[in-house]
Amino acid sequence: MSKYNISAMSKLEEKPRVFLEEFRVKNAPNDYGFADEKWSFKKFTKKFRIIIVRMNDFEMEFDLIGIQPAFANAFRRLMLSEVPSMAIEKVAIRNNTSIIQDEVLAHRLGLIPLKADPRLFEYRAKDSTEGTEFDTLEFSLKVKCTNNKTQIKDSYRPEDLYENHCVYSSQIKWHPIGNQASVHKEIDVGPVHGDILISKMRPGHELDLHLVAVKGIGSDHAKFSPVATASYRLLPEIILTREVTGSDAKLLQTCFSPGVIDIDSNGRAFVKDARYDVCSRNVYKYDEIKDAVVLSRIRDHFIFTVESVGAMSPDVIFSEAVKILRDKCKCLLEELNTL
C-alpha cells in the first residue's frame, strides 16, 4: 500500500463523514440528527468548539465543531426568526402625491433597517394605542420635489433640473419621545444606511409621513429579522489517494473551485484548501483521475455564515440566539417538572 493510501485511510477513520460518490451519497444516515448516538455531555464538552474565521460589523463566518445538526439548525432558525430587532411598523400618511401607492410605500419603509439596539427597548403591548419612550421610536419624512432655480442650461440630468428628485433614508428624521433624547443619539437609532432609495419624484410630488418603529421578531414579519441571511454547510474534505502529476494534475485542478487544488514545483497536485469547495463532483467525469480522489463532508463540523442588517453585530446576534435557546430549554424543563 502506498503512502498516499495509508495516509488517506488513517484520516478517514478520525471523524464522522458523508462520502460523495459519483451517483450516491454513502454513509448518509436516515436520521441526520444523530438520534442513533447516545448523548454524552462529557464527550460533547470535549469535542465542541467554536472557531471564528472572519468577522466585521456586518458579516461573520465561524465554525461549530462537534455539535449535532439539530442544534446547528436551531441556531440558524433562532437568528432568522426569534432574535428581535426594531423596524417601522406603522406609517401615518398625511400626504403622498408620488407615484408610489400608499401600501407599497409603507412596505418599503418597513424594510429599512434601523440602528436602534433592540435590547434597549421593550415589546409594545398588543392592546396599546400609543407608544412610550421605552417601546417606541417615532420618525418623520417630509420631502417636496421642486424645480431647481439654479439649473444648468441645456442639462437634462434630473439632479440638475430638480431638487429632492430622489428621496433617501437619510432624510428620515427622528423625534424623541419623553426622555429618549438623553438616552439615545439620533445617529444610533436612525437608518443603518443613509443612501437607501425610497422614491423618485418630480415637481408637484410630495411626501409627508409619520413613522412609528417598534420591537418585533422575524416570525411575525421578515422586516424584524436582524440578519439578511444566516446559513450553514458541512465542512468539505478532499483526500488524494494517489499521486497525480502532469496534465492529470491540471485537469484535477479545474474540477474544483479556485484555490482548492494547487500544483507544487514538481508538478504534483495537492489539496491546498478544501474549505470553500462546492462539492460539485466534476472529477467523476474523468476516468483517468476519478479514482484518485475521495470526496466527503464532516457530519459534525458546520460552517456558519451570518450577515447582519446592521442593528447588531453578527457575533451579538448569535449570542442572543444562544440565550433564547437556553431560555426555551429552561421553560421546557420547568413545564416537565410540574407534570
Tell me: the pLDDT tens digits for 164-211? Answer: 999 999 999 999 999 999 999 989 999 999 999 999 999 999 999 999
Quickly name the fold that domain 85-224 has: RNA Polymerase Alpha Subunit; Chain A, domain 2 (2.170.120)
Domain boundaries, the chain: 3-80+228-318, 85-224
CATH 1.10.630.10 describes domain 3-80+228-318: no
Q: State the average pLDDT for the chain.
A: 90
Which pLDDT tens digit goes with each residue over 301-320?
A: 999 999 999 999 999 999 99
Confidence at residue 32, expressed as pLDDT on a 0 to 100 scale = 52
- Residue 1 is predicted with a pLDDT of 44
Distance CA 337, CA 339 (A): 5
DSSP string, 253-304: HHTS-TTTEEE-TTSBEEES--TT-----GGGG-TTTGGGEEEEEEEEEEEE
Domain 3-80+228-318 and domain 85-224, same fold? Reply is no
The amino acid sitting at 99 is I
More confident residue, 17 or 100: 100
3-state secondary structure of 80: helix
pTM of the model: 0.85
User: Which residue has better confidence, 70 or 5?
Assistant: 70
pLDDT one-digit tens code per residue, 132-171: 999 999 999 999 999 988 877 778 888 888 999 999 999 9
Mean of pLDDT values over 83-103:
95
**Per-position b or e across 170-190, b if 16+ CB within 10 A of its CB:** ebbebeebeebeeebeeeebb
